Amino acid sequence: MTRLNKFLSECGVASRRKSDELIEQGRVTVNGKTIIEFGFQVNESEDDVKVDGERIHHRNKVYFILNKPKGTVTTTDDEKGRRTVVDLIKTNEKIFPVGRLDYNTTGLLLLTNDGEFANHLMHPRNKITREYQVKLDKDLGREDKIKLERGIILERRRSRFTSIQFTDTKNFRSVTVTTVEGRNHFVKRMFHALGYFVKELNRNSYGPFKLKELPVGSYVKLDEKEISKVYDKKK
């Protein structure tokens, strides 16, 4: 027997948190009965589980790294008809992005149908490191660099970059930052808090996954060995 939210997550419907929302909204049925209990247990091989009337099955888990280009929306569909990151990947599976990158932010984006994998990467307690290449509108001052590394108050919370490195010792507008924060617009808002505007933002890595030489707009499929690195506490 498996908890209903875990079953939905493993089937690629959504993360556990989002699955709980679906359950709370009365959109999930088991054997024709609407279930609103978060702890409800299902028999994976026997029970008929549906979301919005659509039968849910276990699916083959797939994982992709996309080098997101500018002008794409990090979502599964867009009401304005703009191109989404899902449109760039050819697969028969119903996939979704792990977290998000802004419309004009580029770089590494993971997409999958594995809700547990996505939840593990995004959950704050796991402190998964992200690395970004940042271009600022002006030179980053030494004192401001120290403040951002030691921590500032952002949204009433002490927030910091794990590290800031200058990409070029003669160019103080181009920096590489690492952080374990996954809050929306975190990098941009951190610099903005000290009077800097982020002109360009590119994510180089997310946990053990790196862009390497992957061309913009291209993607690669990950294998189980690569995915297992996410759960290796030694990494």
In this predicted structure, what is the pLDDT of residue 233?
A: 62
In this predicted structure, what is the pLDDT of residue 97?
A: 94
- Give average pLDDT by consecutive 10-residue segment, the chain, 235 residues: 88 84 95 92 90 86 96 92 95 90 96 89 94 98 97 95 93 96 95 98 97 95 93 64
3-state secondary structure of 184: coil
In this predicted structure, what is the pLDDT of residue 45?
A: 79
Closest listed residue to residue 166, CA positions, set 190, 144, 183: 144
Tokens of 82: 């703009």
Residue 66: φ, ψ to 5°: -115, 135
Classify burial at 75, counting beta carbons within 10 Å of its beta carbon; exposed 0-12, middle 13-18, buried 19 or more.
Answer: middle
Closest listed residue to residue 131, CA positions, set 227, 218, 219, 207: 207
In this predicted structure, what is the pLDDT of residue 235?
A: 44
Helix axis angle, 115-122 relative to 16-24, nearest 10°? 110
In this predicted structure, what is the pLDDT of residue 14?
A: 80
In this predicted structure, what is the pLDDT of residue 104?
A: 95
Residues marked as catalytic: 102
175 touches 134 (CB < 8 A): yes
Task: Tally the C-alpha atoms within 13 A of residue 201's C-alpha that lie toward its C-beta.
Answer: 21
Alpha-carbon span 147 to 165, nearest angstrom: 14
Pair type for strands 198-206 and 209-210: antiparallel
